[in-house]
């Protein structure tokens, strides 16, 4: 048990409490709006630890919750046929980014994370939903995948520009939720591979990530309860404002 808890024993009770609270909040956000777990986790944990440590912690909660989201909807084969160029370039972009980008430390990494969060929040608050035409999708999808992969390897956040792009494809609600789960699953696996290649995903980090799954799943359950009681539009607006403030803080103080 001491080995299993070694990561949390090393970081101390205060940071352990922060990790548990962060994944509870991140799971709640995902339960309400269907996304946001890695974004909230990287943003909040980035205030107190290196991005590579935060990214290692989110691997299992992100993978499990995204696979759950991916499993339901009935559109998997059609989405794979349509999105495979973007997904392939996302994986490759993350791998290529891991060759020359280092999430392990340095102020620029924290500022890059802050910039990604701020861009994501501002796009959600102010940008209209674009429409991508089929002929544009053929070349734009792979480009979006490559940029998303590089952003993932640099910051651990894989919502920019993948989420706005998927929202612009004209998918219905069930298709969009499943497409997001598919994209996030590929990004999570690619991020895990990159961290393992850099030696930042050992048994201690995996055990710590497994324990963080508990508050994440509890948060998802709470989020589903909350979703029945408040407007998802209002919650999403509050979420984006919070991400903008958090991203701005990391960008300035990183």
Please determine, for residue 109, whether its predicted confidence score (pLDDT) is greater than 80. Answer: no
What was the pLDDT predicted at 46? 80
88: pLDDT strictly greater than 80: yes
Residue identified by tokens 């989420």 is 163
**Cα–Cα dist 86/176, whole Å:** 15
Q: Is 164 domain-assigned?
A: yes
| 57 within 8 A of 19, measured Cβ to Cβ | yes
Q: Is 1 helix (H, G, I), strand (E, B) or coil?
A: coil
In terms of Cα–Cα distance, which of 114, 105, 47 is closest to 251?
A: 114
Of 160, 194, 161, which Cα lies nearest the Cα of 52? 194
Give a yes or no: residue 140 inside a domain.
yes
pLDDT single digits (tens) 112-166 = 778 888 888 888 888 777 788 888 999 999 999 999 998 888 888 888 889 889 9
- Residue 1 domain flag: no
User: What average pLDDT does range 13-24 have in this prediction?
Assistant: 92
Quick check: is 216 in a domain?
yes
Q: Report the candidate in 129, 139, 191 with the shortest Cα–Cα distance to residue 166.
A: 129
- As for how many domains the chain has, the answer is 1
Give the domain range for residue 170.
Answer: 6-253
Name the pLDDT band for 100 (thresholds 50, 70, 90): low
In a domain, residue 91? The reply is: yes
Predicted confidence (pLDDT) per residue in 26-67, tens digit: 999 888 877 788 888 888 898 888 888 888 899 999 999 888
Q: What is the pTM of this model?
A: 0.82
């Amino acid at each position: 048990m001491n080995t299993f808890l070694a990561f949390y024993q090393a970081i101390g009770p205060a940071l352990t409490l922060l990790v548990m609270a962060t994944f509870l909040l991140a799971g709640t956000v995902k339960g309400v709006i269907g996304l946001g777990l890695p974004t909230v986790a990287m943003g909040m944990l980035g205030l107190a630890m290196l991005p590579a440590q935060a990214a290692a912690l989110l691997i299992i909660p992100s993978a499990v919750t995204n696979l759950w989201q991916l499993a339901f909807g009935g559109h998997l084969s059609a989405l794979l046929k349509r999105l495979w160029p973007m997904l392939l370039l996302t994986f490759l972009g993350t791998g290529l980014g891991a060759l020359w980008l280092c999430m392990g430390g340095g102020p620029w990494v924290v500022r890059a994370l802050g910039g990604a969060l701020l861009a994501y929040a501002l796009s959600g608050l102010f940008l209209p939903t674009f429409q991508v035409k089929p002929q544009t999708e053929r070349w734009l999808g792979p480009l979006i995948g490559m940029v998303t992969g590089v952003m993932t390897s640099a910051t651990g956040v894989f919502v920019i520009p993948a989420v706005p792009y998927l929202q612009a494809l004209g998918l219905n609600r069930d298709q969009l939720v499943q497409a997001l789960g598919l994209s996030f699953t590929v990004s999570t696996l690619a991020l895990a591979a990159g961290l393992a290649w850099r030696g930042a995903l050992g048994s201690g980090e995996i055990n710590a990530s497994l324990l963080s799954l508990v508050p994440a799943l509890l948060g998802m359950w709470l989020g589903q309860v909350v979703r029945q009681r408040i407007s998802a539009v209002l919650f999403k607006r509050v979420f984006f404002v919070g991400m903008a403030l958090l991203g701005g803080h990391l960008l300035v103080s990183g």
